[in-house]
Amino acid sequence: MAIEKEKLLDMYRTMVRIRIFEEKIAEDFAAGKIPGFVHLSAGQEANPTGVCANLRIDDIITSTHRGHGHVIAKAGNQYSLAPMVAELYGRKTGVNKGKAGSQHLSDMDIGVLVAEGIQGTALTLAAGAALTAKLRGTDQVVVSFIGDGTLNTGRFHEGMNMASAWKLPLICYCENNVWAESTNIYDVTNLTNITDRAVAFNIPGVSVDGNDVLAVYKVAAEAVARARKGEGPTFIEGKTCRRFGHFQGDTHLYRSQEEKDECMKRDPIPRFRKRLIEMKVLTEKEADKIQQEVQEEMDKAVKFALESPFPDPEEVLTDVYA
Amino acid sequence: MAIEKEKLIDMYRVMVRIRTFEDRVFKEFAAGNIPGFVHLYAGEEAIAAGACANLRPDDYITSTHRGHGHLIAKGGKTDRMMAELYGKKTGYNRGKGGSMHIAEVDIGILGADAIVAAGIPIAGGAALSAQMRGTDQVTLCFFGDGATNTTRFHEGVNLASIWKLPIVYVIENNVYAETTPVSYAMNIPNIADRAVAYGIPGKTVDGNDVLAVHEVVGEALARARKGEGPTLVECKTCRYYGHYEGDTQTYRTKQEFEECRKRDPIPRFRKKLIKMGVLTEKDADKINQEMLEELDKAVKFAEESPFPEPRETLEDVYT
Amino acid sequence: MLKGVKVKEITYLQAITEAVDEEMARDPTVFLMGEDIRQWGAPLGEFKGLFEKYGGERVRDTAISETAMLGAAAGAAATGMRPIVHIMFSEFLGVCMSDIRCVLTKTRYMTGAKTKFPATIMSYSGAGVSAAGEHSTCPYGYMMAIPGLKIVVPSTPYDAKGLIKSAIREDNPVQVLYHQKLISDRLTGEVPEEEYTIPIGKADIKREGSDVTVVAIGLMVHRALSAAAKLQEKGISIEVVDPRTLAPLDKQAIIDSVKKTGRLVIMDEEPKTESASSEISAIVAEEALDFLDAPIKRVCAPDTPIPFSPVLEKAWMPDEEDLLKAVNEIV
Ligand SMILES: Cc1ncc(C[n+]2csc(CCOP(=O)(O)OP(=O)(O)O)c2C)c(N)n1
Ligand SMILES: Cc1ncc(C[n+]2csc(CCOP(=O)(O)OP(=O)(O)O)c2C)c(N)n1
Ligand SMILES: [Mg+2]
């Protein structure tokens, strides 16, 4: 499958944007500038990037507590980072007016329906969005990103059963970073291949190297095509790993040094950069330039956030009812 | 596997006891003598009888809204059950539970539960308790096809699998959840295939063949007792009556109905036992007669028992 | 109220059916999902005929998956549909409570108004038919504690039809709790022939009176009305206020009535603790204490699960006698 040069470069930029975003947030969180809980997706960038490169703006995704990458990837590179950063800083100019923060960052204008902090709830919600597409006869596709830990929630089972019984245009993309907080997925799931879970619904279950953006892109492309044609849901596992702890402040001592080193080595960004250079889509210089541009973009976004006002206290009472 | 004659006759007796109980409840409910909701087990007797014949008195079961058969097979007494259905003080639960909530922990009946699939995690807890206490007790967990689409099924079976709990899940696939056919509610041919999702064995068996159920559940229980973890056993069956009493069953075709009646597990087993020389026609008739008499007594007991005192409403909230 | 309009007499059940039917006919984005609604029209038959009329896409049976149903209702609502989800007996709402508490009712706020959730949840509430502990609950109090959720509790065919229609049109999640005993008793009442709706958030004075205000909810409205008729014979004039909507509660109507009568009894078919009656008492104590001539009385169920045996269930449920006793204590 030949992917256009433009698209490849776009994907690369998306991954860099996510990484730089996450690293800056880590820094500012440590400096006490960001309130609340923050879960970073650094290391997992190839997953949302490869998936969302197959989606249209009117397609829908649902996200998780570890959601910054999903939003950046779904929005596309033309979408400013500033309102997102402002949201994390709790500002009035944030995407969600400072009411969501990191865990609930979402924006229906770009097809990010929700980011849910209760594990599994977003998946059933995604099934509902897919039902809308089906009832309305559009060919929209819905992708629900979940973590491996969510595989063991009842909502995974009920939601996937519903999607399968009704042949909904839903893709459940599981970012298997092996850990749910400090719990290893293989300690709480008696399976070698989590894609066996698809058997329970009689739907395709595909595993892919979630740190190889082109492999993710390809697998997602097939699933998206199936869903668009009305052939029903797919379950995808992206095998990946997180570079930071579960949340900022987590020392992740439950992981061996060896495993962490291994994860650092599997970094999807240098890997893709090298590949693009080999493919002659990118030169070292161009890659550095992208890095530089994104860095500047992020600095500006942070400046915007810092200069933005906090919401007015009266806003506590608004937005409860439509 | 050779089963002793006594045991075979016992299984037959249990099946007839269940059927006689259910037929009687059917009649008494129609006559307005039983309040509330009633879901009958008739047609599915082979499952409870075959499965429970493998149990020891100290093993556990969890049951469902369609639970009379499970309770009888585990040793529940028909008079006290009937009294509970009548809302009487002498019922197993002093009239507080009714048909859908009978429990008698002393004989291993952890309870019927009207929330579909609620028994699944409860069974997990009982099995965990046995495991932690280091006994070799097992838990038999009964539920319907419809229950396998719930949260509690997924979470319950997953935990049982990772903890290797001594538990056997018996799915009574009677093809419907209320009016909803299995084929509508889920997109898989054999529910036992769901076992793959948890890395445990899954078996499908003819739920109207008591000996087949007995054998497959027996093997699964032996695994469980040895500490080798849970098994999912799907028993294919069909129900004689409606989902609950009052259900007109317009969603079932006459043909389907007749086929279900033809698969009746009781005459089938009776014939087999006679052929095996375990039972004569006369013995079999005698069992039927005894059960009819037992049920007459049970109904009389229920009728003559007092209702609870109104003040008992306030009792039993806390230990 | 119904003067000068052409009316017809229908049952409480028919009122529910008509409301959903009319809204489905009116708005193609309205659809219904639940267990056993195609064949039975739900266990008590309130959706009968809708599958034949609107087909399986818009009248959908589901597997026994309440969390998926609620989540899917939220997802469909947020993407432009108006789902009605039938969670049979209100005790089953517990199965999917975080989908209600979190997804459906918090997300709009948390996204800074980027989403809205025009979903309607319909459930049976109430005891009185020996359905035992898990099929008899009125979950008023604990659902009132969910910000972002509206709750309507119709007590008559007129209210049922008008409120359910409004609930479906409402841009916010609404829980409709209709009483199973009013269905099984085949309660009838008049409704206009013409289309009508009843605004959410408005109480109704079911009987005017001057001595004691009785705020009664759901089935209890009927018990309060018959007690009121008896008290009238003794010269005690009861005003029966039916809140109809528990969230947002029509505080003003209750306070106005208390100002007039100076006495308040609340009749609520829930265990007393943290029930709707708790909230109503607190509001009146906070905002209208000076108008009270006697302590507030609450006629509720005891703090126990609901028993099965008819004898016990009767003792459990608040009834006319309990109300008469409470009124006699304060007049
Ligand atoms: C229902 C529920 N239970 C527990 C939690 C607490 N919690 C937050 S994140 C998390 C782990 C999630 O793991 P996974 O799905 O693998 O996602 P990851 O964090 O690895 O991206 C847990 C247990 C929660 N948010 N919701
Ligand atoms: C959580 C929950 N949802 C719905 C119901 C209503 N309900 C009672 S029995 C039943 C069908 C159960 O089907 P199945 O598990 O196949 O058992 P069967 O009745 O066929 O024995 C349903 C939906 C319930 N009791 N609990
Ligand atoms: Mg069934």
Tokens of A27: 């820094």
Average pLDDT over residues B87-93: 97
The 10s digit of each residue's pLDDT in A177-190 is 999 999 999 999 99
pLDDT class of A2 with cuts at 50, 70, 90: confident
In this structure, the number of other CB atoms found within 10 A of the CB of residue A52 comes to: 28
A254 annotated active-site? yes
Q: Using the structure block, give the residue that is written with the tokens 């956030």.
A: A305
Q: Report the residue of B64, B115, B248, B313 to disrupt the C interface, i.e. the one with the largest count of C CBs within 10 Å.
A: B313
Residue B306: is it exposed, middle or buried by C-beta count within 10 angstroms (0-12/13-18/19+)? exposed
> Which of A140, A197, A207, A214 minimizes the C-alpha distance to A175?
A207
CA dist., res. C261 & res. B126, Å (int): 56
CA dist., res. A179 & res. A186, Å (int): 9
Q: In the prediction, which pLDDT does C94 show?
A: 95
Domain range C204-330, CATH architecture: 3-Layer(aba) Sandwich (3.40)
Instruction: Tell me the best of B115, B116, B145 to mutate to test the pocket of ligand 2, counting ligand atoms within 8 Å of each CB and taking the most.
Output: B116
Query: In chain A, positions 2-41, which contact chain C (CB-CB < 8 Å)?
Result: none
Of B153, B162, B199, the CB nearest to A157: B153
Domains assigned to chain B = 5-306 (3.40.50.970)
CA dist., res. A248 & res. A39, Å (int): 6
Tell me how far the alpha carbon of residue B177 lies from the centroid of ligand 3, in angstroms: 4
Q: Chain C within 8 Å of A113 (Cβ-Cβ)? A: yes
Q: In the prediction, which pLDDT does A129 show?
A: 98
Sequence-ordered list of residues with C-beta below 8 angstroms from that of C28, at least 6 positions apart, any chain: none
In this structure, the number of other CB atoms found within 10 A of the CB of residue C149 comes to: 24
DSSP 8-state assignment for residue C218: T
Pairing of strands B60-62, A234-239: unpaired
What end-to-end distance do the CA atoms of chain A give, in Å? 46
Residue C167 phi/psi, 5-degree rounding, is -60, -45
pLDDT surpasses 90 at A47: yes
The 10s digit of each residue's pLDDT in C109-127 is 999 999 999 999 999 999 9
Question: Ligand 2, closest atom to CA B39?
Answer: 19
Name the residue ranges covered by the structural domains of chain C: 7-192, 204-330
Q: Chain C within 8 Å of A291 (Cβ-Cβ)? A: no
Instruction: Tell me the best of A181, A247, A255 to mutate to test the pocket of ligand 1, counting ligand atoms within 8 Å of each CB and taking the most.
Output: A181
Q: In the prediction, which pLDDT does C2 show?
A: 78
pLDDT surpasses 60 at B1: no
CA dist., res. C21 & res. C48, Å (int): 10
List, in sequence order, every residue forming a beta bridge with A239; answer none if it has no partner: A176, A209
Q: Are C311 and B96 in contact (CB < 8 Å)?
A: no
Residue B47 phi/psi, 5-degree rounding, is -70, -55
Question: Ligand 2, closest atom to CA B177?
Answer: 13
CA dist., res. C223 & res. C217, Å (int): 10
Residue C89 phi/psi, 5-degree rounding, is -95, 140
Q: Chain C within 8 Å of B97 (Cβ-Cβ)? A: yes
> In degrees to the nearest 10, what's the CA dihedral of B27, B32, B38, B40?
0
Tell me how far the alpha carbon of residue C17 lies from the centroid of ligand 2, in angstroms: 23
Q: Are A199 and B161 in contact (CB < 8 Å)?
A: no
Q: Chain A within 8 Å of C278 (Cβ-Cβ)? A: no
Cis bond upstream, residue C248 (ω within 30): yes
Percent of chain C clearing pLDDT 70 (strictly above) = 100
Q: Are A201 and B186 in contact (CB < 8 Å)?
A: yes
Q: In the prediction, which pLDDT does A1 show?
A: 61
In chain C, which residue's Cα lies nearest the Cα of B183? C63
Mean pLDDT score of chain A: 97
Percent of chain C clearing pLDDT 90 (strictly above) = 98
Tokens of A93: 């100019």
The 10s digit of each residue's pLDDT in B238-270 is 999 999 999 999 999 999 999 999 999 999 999
Q: What is the value of pTM for the model shown?
A: 0.94
Average pLDDT over residues C242-250: 98
Tokens of A72: 């950046």
Identity of residue B52: C
CB-based contact C308:C135 (threshold 8 Å): no
CA dist., res. A227 & res. A126, Å (int): 13
Q: In the prediction, which pLDDT does C1 show?
A: 63
Q: Chain C within 8 Å of B183 (Cβ-Cβ)? A: no
* Alpha-carbon distance values, B215 to B20, B98, B142 (Å): 25, 32, 16
Q: Is C35 in the pocket of ligand 2 (CB under 6 A)?
A: yes
Sequence-ordered list of residues with C-beta below 8 angstroms from that of A212, at least 6 positions apart, any chain: A46, A268, A271
CA dist., res. A202 & res. A234, Å (int): 10
> Which of B6, B56, B50, B8 minimizes the C-alpha distance to B212?
B50
Give the closest-approach CA distance of A5 to chain C in angstroms.
Answer: 34
CA dist., res. C316 & res. A6, Å (int): 72
Pairing of strands A234-239, A205-209: parallel
Q: Are B101 and C36 in contact (CB < 8 Å)?
A: no
CA dist., res. C282 & res. C285, Å (int): 5
Q: Kind and range of the H or E element at C53?
A: helix C50-58
For A87-106, b/e burial (b = at least 16 CB within 10 A) is bbbbbebbbbbbbbbbbbbb
Residue C325 phi/psi, 5-degree rounding, is -65, -45
Q: Are A188 and B162 in contact (CB < 8 Å)?
A: yes
Sequence-ordered list of residues with C-beta below 8 angstroms from that of B293, at least 6 positions apart, any chain: none
The 10s digit of each residue's pLDDT in A266-277 is 999 999 999 999
Contacts of B186 in chain A (CB under 8 A): 161, 164-165, 201
C86 annotated active-site? no
The 10s digit of each residue's pLDDT in B61-86 is 999 999 999 999 999 999 999 999 99
Q: How many residues does chain C have?
A: 331
In chain A, which residue's Cα lies nearest the Cα of B184? A165
What end-to-end distance do the CA atoms of chain C give, in Å? 30
CATH hierarchy code of domain C7-192: 3.40.50.970
CA dist., res. A200 & res. B198, Å (int): 9
Q: Are B151 and A155 in contact (CB < 8 Å)?
A: yes
Of B155, B189, B196, the CB nearest to A152: B155
CA dist., res. C148 & res. C100, Å (int): 10
Sequence-ordered list of residues with C-beta below 8 angstroms from that of B94, at least 6 positions apart, any chain: B308, B312, B316
The vertex-A176 CA angle with A170 and A179, nearest 5°, equals: 135
* Fold equal for C7-192 and C204-330: yes
CA dist., res. C118 & res. C124, Å (int): 20
Identity of residue C94: G
Q: How many CA atoms lie within 13 A of C327 on its CB side?
A: 27
- The alpha carbon of C102 is separated from its chain's Cα centroid by a whole number of angstroms, namely 21
Tokens of B247: 């259900």
CB pairs under 8 A between A and B: 71
Contacts of A86 in chain C (CB under 8 A): none
Give the closest-approach CA distance of C298 to chain B in angstroms.
Answer: 18
Q: In the prediction, which pLDDT does B2 show?
A: 82
Tell me how far the alpha carbon of residue C54 lies from the centroid of ligand 2, in angstroms: 25
* Alpha-carbon distance values, A7 to A12, A13, A143, A171, A214 (Å): 9, 10, 20, 22, 11
Assign C267 to helix, strand or coil: strand
Pairing of strands C188-192, C7-11: antiparallel
Tell me how far the alpha carbon of residue A123 lies from the centroid of ligand 1, in angstroms: 13
Q: Are B197 and A164 in contact (CB < 8 Å)?
A: no
CA dist., res. A92 & res. A100, Å (int): 11
Is the ipTM beyond the 0.90 threshold? Answer: yes
Q: What is the DSSP string of C69-131?
A: HHHHHHHHHHTT-EEEEEEEEGGGGGGGHHIIIIIIHHHHHHTTSS-----EEEEEE--SS--
Tell me how far the alpha carbon of residue C45 lies from the centroid of ligand 3, in angstroms: 20
Q: How many CA atoms lie within 13 A of C274 on its CB side?
A: 7
CB-based contact B134:B172 (threshold 8 Å): no
> Which of A209, A192, A197 minimizes the C-alpha distance to A234?
A197
CB-based contact C123:C180 (threshold 8 Å): no
> In degrees to the nearest 10, what's the CA dihedral of A76, A82, A84, A90?
-170
Catalytic-role residue among A13, A68, A242, A246: A246
Task: Please give all residues whose beta carbon lies within 6 A of any atom in ligand 1, as ranges.
Answer: A 65-66, 117-119, 147-150, 177, 179-181, 246
CA dist., res. C288 & res. C255, Å (int): 6
Tokens of A52: 């969302």
The 10s digit of each residue's pLDDT in A33-43 is 999 999 999 99
Average pLDDT over residues B141-153: 98
> Which of A132, A109, A188 minimizes the C-alpha distance to A156?
A188
Whose atoms come closest to the Cα of B116: which ligand?
2
CA dist., res. B169 & res. A162, Å (int): 23
Identity of residue A248: Q
> Which of B235, B229, B238 minimizes the C-alpha distance to B261?
B238
Pairing of strands A179-180, A183-184: antiparallel
Tell me how far the alpha carbon of residue A142 lies from the centroid of ligand 1, in angstroms: 21
> Which of C136, C91, C87 minimizes the C-alpha distance to B96?
C136
Whose atoms come closest to the Cα of C68: which ligand?
2
Instruction: Tell me the best of A65, A118, A124 to mutate to test the pocket of ligand 1, counting ligand atoms within 8 Å of each CB and taking the most.
Output: A65
A65 annotated active-site? no
Assign B1 to helix, strand or coil: coil
CB-based contact C190:C9 (threshold 8 Å): yes
Domains assigned to chain A = 5-304 (3.40.50.970)
pLDDT surpasses 80 at B301: yes
Q: Is B234 in the pocket of ligand 2 (CB under 6 A)?
A: no
Catalytic site positions of B: 239, 243, 251
Whose atoms come closest to the Cα of B143: which ligand?
2
Tell me how far the alpha carbon of residue C66 lies from the centroid of ligand 1, in angstroms: 21
In chain B, which residue's Cα lies nearest the Cα of C184? B36
CB-based contact C75:A129 (threshold 8 Å): yes
Tokens of C283: 């509001």
Percent of chain B clearing pLDDT 90 (strictly above) = 98
